[in-house]
Amino acid sequence: MTKSVPIALRRFYVTPGRVAGGVLRLDLQETHHLVRVLRLKVGARVAIGDGQGRVWEAQVEGLEPGGARLKVVRELASWGESPLALVLGIGLAKGEAMDTVIRQATEMGVKRILPLVTERCERVTAARAARRQARWQRLAQESLKSCQRSNLPEIDFPEEFAAALAGPEEAKLIFWEEERGGGLKSCLDQPPPKSARLLIGPEGGFSAGEVDQAREAGYEVVSLGPRRLKVETAALAALTLVQYAWGDLA
């Protein structure tokens, strides 16, 4: 029988499949965090997660040049996942704003993040988009450990807005600052869906044409009130309200 993760255990991340025969080795980045930042020694016990729902308690057995070697003590119960399968589509924003969204979305229990190429977003080359995606994945891994989730959100390669409209989610909302009718409260008052897809625009917001595309694809057009919010503020506000009404933030 698995047990929940003891709060006192420091958390580390390993890529799926790295635990074999009850032994695992941390990569150099995680080893640096264990040794140089936390100053843990041989014999210390920690929690190890693979980002796919499996978590173990493990003991440090050796600090080697190739990475810290640990022995699995027992498997622990997964923890921290919302019952709402939540997908966040976010228009490509500038570096710091996008980084903040990735961290906060991970903490808020988002299952999948879709960086969107929109009419008013920052344009990036394929090479730069790949570098940013790799960075976002590292940030999500860091947030996964600090917020004590078990599943790492999937972060897609940036794609065109129209391509991200399709999806199997029961509820689909696009947040637009020009929507004066509000509409969010009436949506959230409905019976909770099992899944939802939220779209948040970049710094310049969505264009009217993009909103029309989303509406035709079955999205409810809603707003977050009369004030214009920064991208990271809008994303956090939307996720908080939806998780409170439909998820586990209550």
Q: Which of 76, 95, 112 is the last residue of a domain?
A: 76
Count each helix (H run) and each strand (E run) in the chain, helices first.
6, 12
For residue 29, pLDDT beyond 50: yes
pLDDT, tens digit, 9 for 90 and up, residues 177-232 = 888 777 899 999 999 999 999 999 999 999 999 999 999 999 999 999 988 999 99
In a domain, 116, yes or no: yes
Do both 160 and 204 map to the same domain? yes
For residue 2, pLDDT beyond 60: no
CB of 76 within 8 A of CB of 5? Answer: yes
Do both 106 and 221 map to the same domain? yes
Find the domain containing 64 and state its range. 10-76
Do both 170 and 235 map to the same domain? yes
In a domain, 190, yes or no: yes
For residue 68, pLDDT beyond 60: yes
Give the Å distances, CA to CA, from 143 to 12, 47, 177, 202: 11, 15, 29, 22
Residue 4: pLDDT band by 50, 70, 90 thresholds?
A: low
Q: What percent of the chain has pLDDT over 90?
A: 82
Do both 126 and 29 map to the same domain? no
Do both 178 and 219 map to the same domain? yes
In a domain, 109, yes or no: yes
Q: Which of 76, 106, 130 is the last residue of a domain?
A: 76
Do both 110 and 67 map to the same domain? no
For residue 7, pLDDT beyond 80: no
Instruction: Count Cβ atoms below 10 Å from residue 183 Cβ, excluding itself.
Output: 15
CATH for 69:
2.40.240.20
Do both 133 and 217 map to the same domain? yes
Do both 230 and 156 map to the same domain? yes
In a domain, 3, yes or no: no
Residue 1: pLDDT band by 50, 70, 90 thresholds?
A: very low
Distance, first Cα to last Cα, the chain? 28
CATH for 90:
3.40.1280.10
Q: How many domains does the chain have?
A: 2
Q: Which of 76, 100, 128 is the last residue of a domain?
A: 76
pTM, entire model: 0.90
CB of 144 within 8 A of CB of 49? Answer: yes
